[in-house]
């Protein structure tokens, strides 16, 4: 890992204005992903705040490939890493406040679990399910993340997008085509923040619901092992975990990657997995389920980067 000083960044990269965050060259991404695997990014930028991020994006050529990463869940970075620039928002873009009329402003880097607690503590209901999503609000917006029967875009009022030129654009929820674990929006625009619409309710009841959901998650999911969350989408009218278990794949391992004994729709890193181990196991599970159950499982996890 190489950390550039501000003067080195100014000399070696693009144009003014000089960004204030941290730029890391050839940074291995394994420590930034919940699976603990992944090769290096050409460069990784950790912005100081929202405005710094906007200024940094302006310094990049419009043709520069940009990839966004929050908590690194629902993500498999291949062993060859990612070409271009990776923006990491973990611990950044973390502003959240009440905007009136039941609206809650949330920046893209806020963990979903924090949103659930923030809303519950203020007597707003409808966001409790976010406690079960192990990612940031930006990731939840990108894939319409859901848990325990709730989905992100059901509570979205509007969003702020950041485009490749560094311009901020406001868009309404209806500007997007939203489906199960899928959101189609605008090319070369990324989620910067959102306004959520929630309803007034009982704080104690909301907090108890969050507690119950978290207890259920802990009892049914391998939360103490590196994973990405759910690997496969649930087929309509069925559950991926049931199909995988019925195919006899619980506990099946390739290299350091293993189908969880606790929840069959989770693949865990038992300690020395590579991204290639995990991807090979994903394909193996898909093949076996199709052969034995006649169902083609679609991946929920986002697989990116270059294979070795």
DSSP category for residue 110: S
Is the bond leading into 229 cis (omega within 30 degrees of zero)?
Answer: no
Angle, helices 112-121 vs 203-220, to 10°: value is: 150
Q: Which uninterrupted H or E stretch holds 51?
A: helix 50-59
Length of the chain: 308
Q: Write down the catalytic residue from 27, 181, 227, 260.
A: 181
126: its two tokens = 């409808």
Whether residue 83 lies in the annotated active site: no
Which 3 state secondary structure label does DSSP give 22? strand
Degrees (nearest 5) of the Cα angle 205, 211, 212? 90
Expressed in angstroms, the distance from the first to the final Cα of the chain is: 20
DSSP category for residue 136: B
Whether residue 181 lies in the annotated active site: yes
Report whether 38 contacts 61 (CB < 8 A): no
Q: Write down the catalytic residue from 193, 227, 230, 260.
A: 230
Q: Which sign, positive or negative, has the C-alpha torsion 112, 35, 143, 248?
A: negative
Interatomic CA distance for residues 23 and 1, integer angstroms: 10
Q: Write down the catalytic residue from 55, 107, 279, 300.
A: 300
Whether residue 8 lies in the annotated active site: no
In the chain, how long is the greatest CA-to-CA distance? 59
Report whether 274 contacts 262 (CB < 8 A): no
Burial string for 211-246 (b: 16+ CB within 10 Å, else e) reads eebbeebeeebbeebbbbbbbbbbbeeeebbebbbe
Interatomic CA distance for residues 58 and 5, integer angstroms: 19
| Residue 53 dihedral angles phi and psi, to the nearest 5° | -60, -45
Report whether 112 contacts 138 (CB < 8 A): no
Catalytic (active-site) positions: 181, 230, 300
């Amino acid at each position: 890992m190489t950390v550039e000083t501000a003067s080195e960044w100014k000399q070696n990269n693009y144009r003014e204005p000089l960004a204030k965050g941290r730029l890391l060259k050839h940074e291995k991404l394994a420590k930034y992903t919940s699976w603990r695997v992944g090769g290096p990014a050409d460069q990784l930028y950790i912005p100081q705040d929202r405005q710094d991020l906007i200024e940094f994006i302006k310094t990049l050529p419009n043709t520069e490939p940009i990839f966004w990463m929050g908590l690194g869940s629902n993500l498999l970075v291949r062993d060859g890493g990612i070409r271009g620039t990776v923006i990491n928002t973990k611990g950044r873009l973390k502003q959240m406040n009440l905007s009136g009329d039941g609206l809650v402003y949330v920046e893209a880097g806020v963990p979903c679990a924090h949103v659930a607690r923030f809303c519950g503590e203020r007597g707003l209901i409808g966001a409790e399910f976010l406690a079960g999503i192990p990612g940031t609000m930006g990731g939840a917006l990108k894939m319409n993340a859901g848990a325990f029967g709730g989905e992100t875009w059901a509570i979205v009022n509007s969003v702020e997008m950041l485009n490749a030129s560094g311009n901020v654009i406001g868009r309404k929820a209806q500007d997007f085509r939203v489906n199960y674990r899928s959101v189609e929006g605008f090319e070369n625009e990324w989620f910067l923040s959102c306004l959520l619409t929630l309803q007034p309710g009982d704080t104690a009841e909301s907090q108890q619901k969050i507690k119950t959901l978290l207890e259920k998650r802990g009892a049914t999911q391998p939360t103490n092992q590196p994973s990405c969350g759910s690997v496969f989408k649930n087929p309509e009218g069925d559950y991926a975990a049931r199909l995988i278990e019925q195919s006899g794949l619980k506990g099946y391992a390739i290299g350091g990657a293993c189908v969880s004994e606790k929840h069959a729709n989770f693949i865990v890193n038992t300690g020395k997995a590579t991204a290639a181990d995990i991807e090979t196991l994903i394909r193996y599970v898909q093949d076996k389920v199709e052969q034995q159950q006649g169902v083609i499982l679609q991946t929920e996890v986002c697989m990116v980067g270059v294979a070795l």
